[in-house]
Amino acid sequence: MATNRFEAGNGDAVAGKWAWFVALGVLLIMAGGIAFGNLLMATVASVYYVGVIMLIGGLLNLGQAFRVKDWGGFIYWMLSGAFYAAAGLFTFVNPLLASSVLTLLLAIALIAAGAFRVWVGFRLSPLAGWGWILIGGLFTLVAGLVIAAGWPVDSLWILGLLLSVDLVMQGLALIAFGVLVKS
């Protein structure tokens, strides 16, 4: 029988640290407010973050190329790593163009996901609650269309806005968790 890790006394240990969750939540909300204050810089910061992750991934793939060169996949891994690392470096060379590309990819992904959710909503129409799936899909689809309609100008601020909202929402979630786990 599986038990919750926090049932056997660990819940008290977490509850004893409630103030740390609240403090971290407050700090994240403050960081989100700073990001809201300068969406362009928040966009550049998020692009740099993506660039670092891509650069690390590319370097790991390049390292993997030398580990599997006996398998015959050396060229694949080498090219994969080189392209990925180059894309990561590109974000540092031209972060505004990179934000434009990432924003366009975001719009395309939201449009595709929204359209798929609308389709799934209609497919679930005999079941109770199918309309919520449809409505959620429509919101996602419209968000993608709005971003695409404002592209490339929106790419100067949309990624920063998403980062800001995420920071604030994570902060609120941690504050709520900290307060509720205390009681």
What are the sequence ranges of the domains in the chain? 19-178
Q: What integer pLDDT is reported at residue 15 of this predicted model? A: 78
Spatial neighbors of 40 by CB under 8 A, at least 6 apart, are: 156, 157, 160
Planar angle of CA 9, 10, 11, nearest 5 degrees: 90
Listed in sequence order, the DSSP H helices in the chain are 10-15, 18-37, 39-67, 74-93, 95-123, 130-149, 158-182
Tokens describing residue 103: 């924003």
Tokens describing residue 146: 């709005």
C-alpha distances in Å from residue 23, one per residue of 19, 27, 108, 168, 177: 6, 6, 37, 13, 11
Q: What integer pLDDT is reported at residue 147 of this predicted model? A: 93
Planar angle of CA 104, 60, 167, nearest 5 degrees: 45
Task: Report residues of the chain scoring pLDDT below 70.
Answer: 1-11
Per the CB < 8 A criterion, the answer to whether 64 and 81 are in contact is yes
Residues comprising the chain, all counted: 183
Catalogue the long-range contacts made by 61-69 (C-beta closer than 8 Å, 24 or more residues apart).
Answer: 61/85
Per the CB < 8 A criterion, the answer to whether 161 and 41 are in contact is no
Per the CB < 8 A criterion, the answer to whether 143 and 151 are in contact is no
Q: What integer pLDDT is reported at residue 8 of this predicted model? A: 47
Q: What integer pLDDT is reported at residue 3 of this predicted model? A: 53
pTM given for the model:
0.74
